[in-house]
Amino acid sequence: MSTPTTTSSAATAASTPSFGLGIGRSLKLGFSRITLEVRSYFRQGDSVFFTFLFPVVMLTIFAVAFSEQNFGTEEEPLTAAAFYLPGMIAAGLLLSGLQNMAIDIAMERSDGTLKRLAGTPLPVMSYFIGKIGQVFVTGVLQAALVILVASVAFDVELPSEPSKWVTFAWVFVLGVTTSAVLGIALSGLPRSGKSATAVVIPVALVLQFISGVYLGFSMLPEWLQNFASIFPLKWMAQGMREVFLPASFEVMEQSESWNLPGVAIATGLWLVIGLIMTRITFRWIRKDS
Amino acid sequence: MNTTAPVVQVENLRKTYGSFAAVDSVSFEIQRGETFALLGPNGAGKSTTIEILEGYRDRTGGSVSVLGVDPGKGGLAWKARLGIVLQSSGESGNVSVREQLTHFAGYYPHPRDVDEVVASVGLEEKAGTLIRKLSGGQRRRVDVALGIIGSPELLFLDEPTTGFDPEARQQFWQLIRSLKADGTTILLTTHYLDEAAQLGDRAGVIAGGKMIDIGAIDEIGGQEARTPRVRWRDANGKHEERTHAPGAVVASLMAAGAEPTGLEIVRPSLEDIYLQLVSDHAHAREVENAR
């Protein structure tokens, strides 16, 4: 055990509190957090399976189970893989964002990670950048994997028009951000890390069933469609359907339209709600617990 | 900045939960460069006190200043001057020791060299290992390394050596001595009284939320508690005599005749004095409650 030689003595540190406390430092540390978070994410076996690979596993199951069925019309046939692709991408947004964040942060709160960070000069903003960045990176890889598997393994024809991919890009970015922010907001709900999975997974699962991920949205009764329309997942899935399904499917949507402005407004509204909730409720630690 | 001002100043600190006072009018000061040991039984209020100083808990009353700042209002620049080693940690630890330290070093304006810190806690061989794969004692050393990576002016050590083997504890003491030599101010809580005696300049003993004694390590408990004891055995059994002149007692034993068996002259250790203080306090409380 050797003696650590201080590069600068404690006394100089005292007299020069001149290190940047501004936005530049928050961003720099935020990017440093993203690297750490992504590394940590992929080294955690259960999160890789339950959130990262889940959509591709489900897509494979549906594609194989319903391989004999036509989800389109006589003139315009559609395979199960093509039918489920947009839903699985939307589910990935929800899992990587909301479910993963809410459980992850609740765990970090109860295992002492947040308490340790609270005692360091890490800005809260950098922590959030790290989390949202991690969701973004894993979400992109996840969507790429789902699309790749759909295209290569199940011959799903991908859209060729650039405008479709522009829609994909904005729905994806808006959706993944909203989902991550809502996850952060939701992380304060479970009282302990252990109860986090029990609280969060049912919420995510119910949302997936009523939002057109596993069940065709047009199959649901109108009142349930209206109820699901309150939540953002329905809108993300709808946006993804516009990108990946044939134009003839548009009439099956609520109001017989893809309603992309509606997708932007509803998802954006939830983003704002999530940001406000996070601002009000997020604490490094529960004081005096 | 006034360098002669105490680094930590606590006056009449009070923390209540409902009608229960976890900390009750505790006062003490820690000077720059000093190592102060806060001692006391479990549940005495040590951790509550230290967590108030670290900014983790709000206080009910009294005034507290840490590096000239009220910890309840301490910002990032203030936190950059502190090093905190919490009592326990159970993080998932999916990053390696070096990754974690390199990352945390980035939070501070004047970090120590990562490899030097790794070496100073004796984890050179584990630097590339994921933290979750380390033993409890090794993880504790990572906690300590994270506490000192930012070259703190003030270091909080809350039971730092729990789970260390004796050799690791010796190495840890050596590390703390080198930090002291660099001028780091240290607030230490520990259950190991030999640790407090080895490292501390002054100590405070907390029991039942109150500071029952405070003073230099070699003065705490008062002179009377330090009276040496002479022990020996003879045909009549065991004897013990408390005396300020142990040499004279031994001489008189020798003068009386045969060499006594099992002769010892013992000065009470900090542990003996501490246990006496705590039990006296508990006894006084019982008497008070009985009234």
Q: What is the ipTM of this complex?
A: 0.86
The Cα–Cα gap between B104 and B17 comes to 34
Cα-Cα end-to-end distance for chain B:
51
The Cα–Cα gap between A29 and A26 comes to 5
User: Residues A195-235: pLDDT tens digits?
Assistant: 888 888 899 999 999 998 988 888 899 999 999 999 999 99
State the CB neighbour count (10 A cutoff) for residue B212.
18
In this structure, what token pair is assigned to residue A191? 């009282």
Lowest-pLDDT range of A158-172, A236-250, B242-256: B242-256
Q: Which range among B1-10, B74-83, B255-264 has the greatest average pLDDT?
A: B74-83
Report the percent of chain A where pLDDT is more than 70: 91
In this structure, what token pair is assigned to residue B289? 């409650």
pLDDT of residue B283: 84
User: Residues B239-283: pLDDT tens digits?
Assistant: 888 888 888 888 888 888 778 888 888 888 888 888 888 888 888
pLDDT of residue B37: 95
Instruction: Name the residue facing A121 among B79, B117, B130 (closest C-beta).
Output: B79
Find which of B3, B92, B120, B132 to mutate to test the A interface (most A CBs within 10 Å of its CB): B92
pLDDT of residue B33: 93
- Asked whether B161 and B190 are in contact (CB, 8 A), the reply is yes
- The structural architecture, per CATH, of the domain B8-216 is 3-Layer(aba) Sandwich (3.40)
The Cα–Cα gap between B5 and A26 comes to 32
pLDDT of residue B246: 87
User: Residues B175-234: pLDDT tens digits?
Assistant: 899 999 999 999 999 888 889 989 999 999 998 889 989 999 888 877 777 888 888 888
The Cα–Cα gap between B152 and A10 comes to 6
Search chain B and give the residue with CA nearest A112: B89
In this structure, what token pair is assigned to residue A12? 């100089």
Q: Do the chains contact at B56 and A9, CB–CB below 8 Å?
A: no
Search chain B and give the residue with CA nearest A43: B94
Place of tokens 């009142």: A223
Tell me the one-letter amino acid at A138. T
Lowest-pLDDT range of A4-8, A104-108, B41-45: A4-8
- Asked whether A30 and A129 are in contact (CB, 8 A), the reply is yes
The Cα–Cα gap between B180 and B186 comes to 8
CB < 8 Å from A in window 129-158 of B: 130, 146, 148, 150-153
Q: Locate the domains of chain B by residue range.
A: 8-216, 222-290
| C-alpha to C-alpha distances, B230 to A123, B127, B226, B271, B272, nearest whole angstrom | 60, 51, 13, 18, 15
Find which of A104, A113, A116, A117 to mutate to test the B interface (most B CBs within 10 Å of its CB): A116
Q: Do the chains contact at B113 and A7, CB–CB below 8 Å?
A: yes
CB neighbour burial string for A203-225, b if at least 16 within 10 angstroms, e if fewer:
bbeebbebbbbeeebeebeeeeb
Instruction: Name the residue facing B120 among A2, A17, A115 (closest C-beta).
Output: A2
Lowest-pLDDT range of A193-207, B119-133, B165-179, B223-237: B223-237
In this structure, what token pair is assigned to residue A219? 């199959």
- The answer, for B91 touching chain A at a CB cutoff of 8 Å, is yes
CB < 8 Å from A in window 2-31 of B: 3, 17
The Cα–Cα gap between B45 and B36 comes to 16
Q: Do the chains contact at B80 and A123, CB–CB below 8 Å?
A: no
Q: Do the chains contact at A116 and B120, CB–CB below 8 Å?
A: no
pLDDT of residue A16: 40
- Asked whether B23 and B36 are in contact (CB, 8 A), the reply is no
